[in-house]
Amino acid sequence: MIFRRSCVISFIACVCLAALSCASTGKTQTVQQSDSLNSTIQNDSRITLVFAGDIMAHQINYTAGNFAEIWRDIKPIVKNSDLAFANLEAPVNDKMEWSTYPQFNMHSEYVHAAIEAGFNVFSLANNHTNDWYLDGIRATRQFFNSTKDVWACGIKEKNGSPLTYRLIQKNDWKILFAAVTEILNRPDFASYIDYYPQKKHGKLVEELKALAKNNPHDLFVLSVHTDEEEYKTTVTESHKKFFKTLASECGIDIIWANHPHVSKKFEKIDLEDGRQTFIMYANGNTISGQRTKPSFNKQPDERDLTGDGLLFKIVCSKSRKFDSIDSYFITTLIKSNGQYVIRLVDDDLIHSLDRAGVDHWKKYLVERRKLFDSLKEKSKWQ
């Protein structure tokens, strides 16, 4: 609201100045003032981005139906953004049966529910991308190519094609987006995927530098599906070093990593050239069926961590800095009918569970939120 008022005041002031200039010096001065106004508006431009984690479809997720219900609680946050990013952890092939772990396949209506909730940018490069070989890769690519106003990255049209990318035009912004994976569960058709194992990090750095140079942009976002141990919250030193190299040498503004199915810390770093980079080391699961038996009456184990995730809302300016970064703690709540849905873990949810007498979930989520508070304290982003 403050920004909008300031824009109105600036506009009125500029109009008044332009009128005075016309009276004294004619049209040339008016044009210069108009150019100045346009420059001011462009420099003050903002874009809002939302980043989720992994979208998975275990059997418990896709047999429940009513997929819109999954997203109901976080839809207002996602919809109130210009671009919303999620990692799709499965091929999308309607000609095949649904399938769950270890070889996933989801149907288009599951993805459409996420799109209807507001997600419009997807990373497709992860360890499950080639679960169903070339048929799965091609079907996934065809689905996203035929879906309007949605962008996806990470798989190639042809064997051995260069690194794929999207230059997303949104309002007066150009967002450069690429998605890579360091890990595949199987080697089949790896040449159709933006696959860069750690031994090819040097090649990736050079390709990203060329991509940034050849595609003028306002913001560069990179998705990295990391090769690391699942269900562990520790950030590896090798990834810390690599991501900071990507930020400083390749001009990446936002590094969005995933794979372990649990949430990790995040940090905002200031670079020598005056830019900032925000690094999400893992946002955990946004929706999955991995937490099948929450530990209500015993010490939580690593499977409990898979039921929680992070959601970020980032407001960016064209100065290549961040106006604001808001983090949200989300959880997979199991409804009385057995459906798995996403819920914001906030005071409203805790109070509603208390009023409904659902003490086991209330106590459980109070403890889960303490972990989120601890994660924020360990992260460098204020």
List CB contacts of 320: < 8 A, sequence separation 6 or more.
219, 253, 274, 275, 276
**pLDDT of res. 302:** 87
State yes or no: pLDDT of 19 exceeds 70.
no
Alpha carbons within 13 A on the beta-carbon side of 291: 28
Tell me the pLDDT tens digit for each residue of 349-382: 999 999 999 999 999 999 999 999 999 988 986 5
Percent of the chain with pLDDT over 70: 88
Contact, 309 vs 285, CB < 8 A?
yes
Quote the pTM value: 0.88
Tell me the pLDDT tens digit for each residue of 293-321: 999 988 888 899 999 999 999 999 998 88
**Measured distance CA(294)–CA(364) in Å, rounded:** 8
**Measured distance CA(298)–CA(318) in Å, rounded:** 49
**Measured distance CA(364)–CA(21) in Å, rounded:** 66
Percent of the chain with pLDDT over 90: 84
Q: What does pLDDT average to over the chain?
A: 89
Tell me the pLDDT tens digit for each residue of 172-212: 999 999 999 999 999 999 999 999 999 999 999 999 999 99
**pLDDT of res. 21:** 35
**pLDDT of res. 314:** 98
State yes or no: pLDDT of 253 exceeds 80.
yes
Contact, 354 vs 363, CB < 8 A?
no
Q: What is the DSSP string of 211-280?
A: HHHHS--SEEEEEEE--S-TT--PPPHHHHHHHHHHHHHH--SEEEEE-SSSB--EEEEE-TTS-EEEEE
